[in-house]
């Protein structure tokens, strides 16, 4: 059974649960709300042995002994138990919980897609400059990133429209069009460099005189892509990732 | 060219500057307090990272920067900006400059001590403990729970136990005493980290590239950093680690993506080395001042790319070998 950790309104998580079940893989949704209200936590580290047991409000127990695979779509720390906390203590409690969730999911013995990192609970939400630099290393055509002391820092985080969304899931590369070998391998290399089992990669079309079709260049990437747009091909890749 | 970014009078930055002088290396301070006359513009594309940094009348080609020591303070707290409104142009410029400089340091091919991304592991002690354990260093037995019964069982198993933050915030170590036991039910609100108390002597190991500087720490208190404040004392002296332990410290530092780290070990009376954490931004000056270990010089050599010529540098740091007190 695959446990899908997600926000309560995460349509992509519901979609993934349905598509995995269609492919014969049981899936159980665990919402951030349920995690945030967990009745009991026990997380142990003894040498290289890491064990976790979490009792949810409805009595379900997530226990590392079961080593269930996890589709991890958590992006925020659930705060259900912190509503009575305010001021500096609230920020402190948030840091504490983030540190705990990070350790729990990093040390979970089953497959986790994606593992958390200090920069994000379901993978690193990198700054566009880092995606541009990593993509160049991966051999992908990339929109140059320019930044200076005359630019507003927050501008960088504004979403940019994608004309082509590609998914890397395990070794599979899923796209709505036929990709060149170079682009396919570049996406795969980017996911490896980003340390992501699941990565959404966005491209924009480059105006080109090339006679051999459209040219694309990367505009961004995310460890938490909208899975629904990946369709059946992505569902197949997810099922394969959780069964091999 | 080497950049030293921060406040030039801050002790670690000043010491590295002095060490670079001794090496005859070419360096510049990126003085945060002069941000009003500083500017940066850079680009990352398929050809690499390029751009310019201007400080006062001087413009530096960022492609010539081979090393950077980043000790930036929060630019919002700079004295030059005190009393200015959040949207004051001076504040806006300072924020944009620091953001652009920081982003450049994260993707630049230069040797950066240290980049921010690999420093993140220190934000979760148990997460970092897992990385530590994979490198053959023992983390203390750890329990994080909101269940008082589990804590009681853990104390029964290990005897004396301590508690401390899971994250890097408010990271003060305390022994769980009778007074704490009386309010143990409060952990129900938020899980707390408990660890077996490990007897022995603290050793702080500064690693810079391949160079290792172990410092032996005799303290009257559980958390030696706060001993003096709490009426106790702490004595520091240079130490020598077994080659195998030193090598693990070097590999751990490198695998975490860090160029420079302060690793907290404890040597038990049984001869075991436990590792508590890896500090990714060590303010080493306290240790150098009390032991004479040439840590700043090693940082300078690393930044200048001169450490490669001395692969056995760790031997230069040798001190005494000792056994932990029982």
Q: Return residues 146-175 of B near A (CB < 8 Å).
A: 146-147, 150, 165-170
DSSP letters of B69-81? EE----GGG-GGG
Last residue within a domain, chosen from B196, B231, B260: B196
Same domain, A60 and A134: no
Tell me if A1 sits within 8 A of A21, measured CB to CB: no
Mean pLDDT of B105-121: 95
Q: Cα(A144)–Cα(B45) distance, rounded to whole angstroms?
A: 4
Of A85, A106, A129, the CB nearest to B107: A129
Of B44, B117, B134, the CB nearest to A145: B44
Examine residue B87 and state whether it is found in any structural domain, yes or no: yes
CATH number of A155's domain? 3.30.470
Bond prior to A114 in cis (omega within 30° of 0): yes
Whether B313 shows a pLDDT value over 60: the answer reads no
Tens digit of each residue's pLDDT (9 = 90 or more) over B48-80? 999 999 999 999 999 999 999 999 999 999 999
Cβ of B141 within 8 Å of Cβ of A150? The answer is no
Same domain, A155 and A77: no
Using N-to-C axis directions, what is the helix angle for A128-138 and A181-193, rounded to 10°? 130
Q: How many CA atoms lie within 13 A of A123 on its CB side?
A: 24
User: CA-based Rg of chain A, rounded to a whole angstrom?
Assistant: 19
Question: Which among A93, A118, A157 is the top mutation candidate for probing chain B, defined by the most B β-carbons within 10 Å of its own β-carbon?
Answer: A118
Percentage of chain B with pLDDT > 90? 83
Tens digit of each residue's pLDDT (9 = 90 or more) over B159-218? 999 999 999 887 788 999 989 998 999 998 889 999 999 999 999 999 999 999 999 999
Same domain, B152 and B91: no
Q: Does B144 contact chain A (CB < 8 Å)?
A: yes
Which residue of chain A is at minimal alpha-carbon distance from B121?
Answer: A118
Q: Does B141 contact chain A (CB < 8 Å)?
A: yes
Cβ of A127 within 8 Å of Cβ of B103? The answer is yes
Tell me if B233 sits within 8 A of B227, measured CB to CB: yes
State the pLDDT at residue A152.
Answer: 83
> Residue B310: pLDDT band by 50, 70, 90 thresholds?
very low
Same domain, B236 and B297: yes
Quick one: B7 exposed, middle or buried, by C-beta within 10 A (0-12, 13-18, 19+)? middle
Q: Cα(A148)–Cα(B322) distance, rounded to whole angstroms?
A: 52
CATH number of B158's domain? 3.30.1490.20
Which residue of chain B is at minimal alpha-carbon distance from A95?
Answer: B167
State the pLDDT at residue A121.
Answer: 95
Cβ of B145 within 8 Å of Cβ of A40? The answer is yes
Examine residue A169 and state whether it is found in any structural domain, yes or no: yes
Question: Which among B30, B40, B95, B107 is the top mutation candidate for probing chain A, defined by the most A β-carbons within 10 Å of its own β-carbon?
Answer: B107
| Count of domains forming chain A | 2
Q: Which two tokens stand for residue B12?
A: 């670690």
Last residue within a domain, chosen from A89, A113, A137: A113
State the pLDDT at residue B317.
Answer: 46
Whether B270 shows a pLDDT value over 90: the answer reads yes
Question: Which among B118, B129, B190 is the top mutation candidate for probing chain A, defined by the most A β-carbons within 10 Å of its own β-carbon?
Answer: B190
ipTM above 0.85, yes or no: yes
| Count of domains forming chain B | 3
Contacts of B118 (CB under 8 A, 6+ apart): B256, B257, B258, B280
Examine residue A119 and state whether it is found in any structural domain, yes or no: no
Same domain, A68 and A10: yes
> Residue B324: pLDDT band by 50, 70, 90 thresholds?
low
Last residue within a domain, chosen from B93, B113, B133: B113
Examine residue A33 and state whether it is found in any structural domain, yes or no: yes
Q: Does A47 contact chain B (CB < 8 Å)?
A: yes
Q: Please tell me the least confidently modeled range out of A198-207, B24-33, B227-236, B264-273.
A: B227-236
Helix (H, G, I), strand (E, B) or coil at B282: coil
What's the distance, CA B260 to chain centroid?
A: 7
Domain span at B25: 2-113
Q: Which two tokens stand for residue A172?
A: 């599979």
Whether B255 shows a pLDDT value over 80: the answer reads yes
Same domain, A34 and A107: yes
Write the DSSP symbol of residue A50: E
Quick one: A214 exposed, middle or buried, by C-beta within 10 A (0-12, 13-18, 19+)? middle
Examine residue B321 and state whether it is found in any structural domain, yes or no: no
Cβ of A99 within 8 Å of Cβ of B143? The answer is no
Tell me if B190 sits within 8 A of B169, measured CB to CB: no
Cβ of A41 within 8 Å of Cβ of B169? The answer is no
State the pLDDT at residue B316.
Answer: 42
Whether B325 shows a pLDDT value over 60: the answer reads no
What's the distance, CA B162 to chain centroid?
A: 22
Cβ of B146 within 8 Å of Cβ of A40? The answer is yes
CATH number of B251's domain? 3.30.470.20
Where is pLDDT greater, at A155 or B306? B306
Same domain, B61 and B79: yes
Examine residue B307 and state whether it is found in any structural domain, yes or no: yes
Which residue of chain B is at minimal alpha-carbon distance from A150?
Answer: B96
Same domain, B32 and B93: yes
Q: Return residues 273-302 of B near A (CB < 8 Å).
A: none
Tens digit of each residue's pLDDT (9 = 90 or more) over B224-235? 777 777 788 899
Tens digit of each residue's pLDDT (9 = 90 or more) over B130-151? 999 999 999 999 999 999 999 9
Same domain, B205 and B303: yes
CATH number of B66's domain? 3.40.50
Mean pLDDT of B23-34: 97
B96 vs A contacts (CB less than 8 Å) = 148-153
Domain span at A169: 128-222
Q: Please tell me the least confidently modeled range out of A83-92, B93-102, B312-321.
A: B312-321
Q: Cα(B256)–Cα(B130) distance, rounded to whole angstroms?
A: 12
Same domain, B176 and B206: no
Q: Does A132 contact chain B (CB < 8 Å)?
A: yes
Instruction: Using the Cα atoms of residue B28, residue B31, residue B36 and residue B41 in order, give the sign of their dihedral.
Output: positive
State the pLDDT at residue B320.
Answer: 67
Of B49, B138, B145, the CB nearest to A42: B145
Q: What is the pLDDT along chain A (244 residues), one digit of tens a residue?
A: 999 999 999 999 999 999 999 999 999 999 999 999 999 999 999 999 999 999 999 999 999 999 999 999 999 888 887 777 778 788 889 999 999 999 999 999 999 999 999 999 999 999 999 999 999 999 999 988 999 999 887 776 676 778 999 999 999 999 999 999 999 999 999 999 999 999 999 999 887 655 556 689 999 999 999 999 999 999 999 999 999 8
Please state, rounded to an integer, the average pLDDT across all residues of chain B. Answer: 92
Q: Please tell me the least confidently modeled range out of A213-222, B120-129, B252-261, B310-319.
A: B310-319
Same domain, B62 and B102: yes
Tens digit of each residue's pLDDT (9 = 90 or more) over B74-83? 999 999 999 9
State the pLDDT at residue B223.
Answer: 72
User: CA-based Rg of chain B, rounded to a whole angstrom?
Assistant: 22
Helix (H, G, I), strand (E, B) or coil at A217: strand
Whether B314 shows a pLDDT value over 60: the answer reads no
Question: Which among B39, B44, B134, B164 is the top mutation candidate for probing chain A, defined by the most A β-carbons within 10 Å of its own β-carbon?
Answer: B44
Where is pLDDT greater, at B16 or A84? B16
Examine residue A69 and state whether it is found in any structural domain, yes or no: yes
A91 vs B contacts (CB less than 8 Å) = 169
Write the DSSP symbol of residue A123: B
Whether B315 shows a pLDDT value over 50: the answer reads no
Cβ of A99 within 8 Å of Cβ of B167? The answer is yes
């Amino acid at each position: 059974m695959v446990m899908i950790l997600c926000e309560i309104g995460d349509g992509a998580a519901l979609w993934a649960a349905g598509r995995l079940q269609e492919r014969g893989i049981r899936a159980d949704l665990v919402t951030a709300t349920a995690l945030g209200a967990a009745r009991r936590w026990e997380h142990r580290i003894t040498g290289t042995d890491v064990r976790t047991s979490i009792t949810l409000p409805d009595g379900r127990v997530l226990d590392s002994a079961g080593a269930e695979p996890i589709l991890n779509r958590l992006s925020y720390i659930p705060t259900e138990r912190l509503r009575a906390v305010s001021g500096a203590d609230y920020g402190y409690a948030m840091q504490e919980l983030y540190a705990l969730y990070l350790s729990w999911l990093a040390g979970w013995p089953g497959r986790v897609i994606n593992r958390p990192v200090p920069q994000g609970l379901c993978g690193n939400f990198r700054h566009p400059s880092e995606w541009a630099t990593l993509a160049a290393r991966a051999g992908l055509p990339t929109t140059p990133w320019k930044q200076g002391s005359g630019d507003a820092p927050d501008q960088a985080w504004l979403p940019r429209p994608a004309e082509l969304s590609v998914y890397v899931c395990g070794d599979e590369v899923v796209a709505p069009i036929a990709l060149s070998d170079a682009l396919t391998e570049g996406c795969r290399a980017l996911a490896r460099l980003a340390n992501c089992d699941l990565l959404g990669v966005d491209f924009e079309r480059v105006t080109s005189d090339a006679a051999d079709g459209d040219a694309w260049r990367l505009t961004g990437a995310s460890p938490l892509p909208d899975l629904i747009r990946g369709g059946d091909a992505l569902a197949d890749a997810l099922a394969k990732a959780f069964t091999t | 060219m080497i950049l030293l970014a921060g406040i030039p009078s801050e002790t670690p930055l000043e010491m590295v500057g002095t060490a670079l002088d001794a090496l005859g290396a070419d360096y510049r301070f990126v003085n945060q307090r002069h941000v009003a006359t500083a500017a940066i513009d850079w680009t990352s594309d398929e050809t690499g990272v390029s751009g310019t940094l201007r400080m006062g009348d001087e413009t530096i080609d960022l492609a010539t920067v081979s090393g950077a020591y980043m000790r930036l303070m929060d630019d919002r707290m700079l004295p030059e900006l005190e009393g200015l409104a959040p949207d004051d142009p001076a504040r806006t410029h300072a924020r944009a400059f620091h953001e652009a400089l920081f982003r450049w340091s994260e993707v630049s091919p230069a040797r950066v001590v240290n980049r921010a991304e690999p420093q993140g592991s220190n934000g979760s002690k148990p997460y970092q403990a897992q990385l530590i354990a994979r490198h053959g260093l023992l983390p203390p037995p750890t329990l994080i729970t909101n269940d008082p019964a589990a804590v009681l069982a853990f104390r029964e198993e290990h005897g004396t136990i301590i508690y401390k933050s899971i994250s890097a915030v408010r990271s003060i170590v305390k022994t769980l005493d009778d007074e704490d036991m009386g309010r143990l039910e409060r952990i129900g609100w938020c899980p707390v980290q408990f660890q077996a108390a490990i007897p022995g002597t603290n050793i702080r190991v500064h690693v810079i590239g391949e160079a290792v500087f172990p410092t032996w720490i005799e303290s009257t208190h559980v958390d030696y950093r706060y001993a003096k404040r709490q009426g106790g004392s702490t004595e520091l002296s240079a130490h020598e680690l077994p080659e195998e332990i030193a090598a693990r410290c070097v590999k751990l530092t490198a695998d975490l993506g860090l160029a420079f780290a302060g690793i907290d070990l404890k040597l038990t009376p049984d001869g075991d080395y436990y590792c508590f954490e890896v500090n990714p931004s060590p303010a080493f000056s306290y240790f150098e001042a009390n032991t004479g270990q040439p840590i700043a010089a090693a940082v300078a050599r690393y930044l200048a790319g001169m450490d490669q010529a001395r692969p056995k540098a760790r031997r230069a740091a040798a001190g005494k070998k000792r056994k932990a007190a029982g």
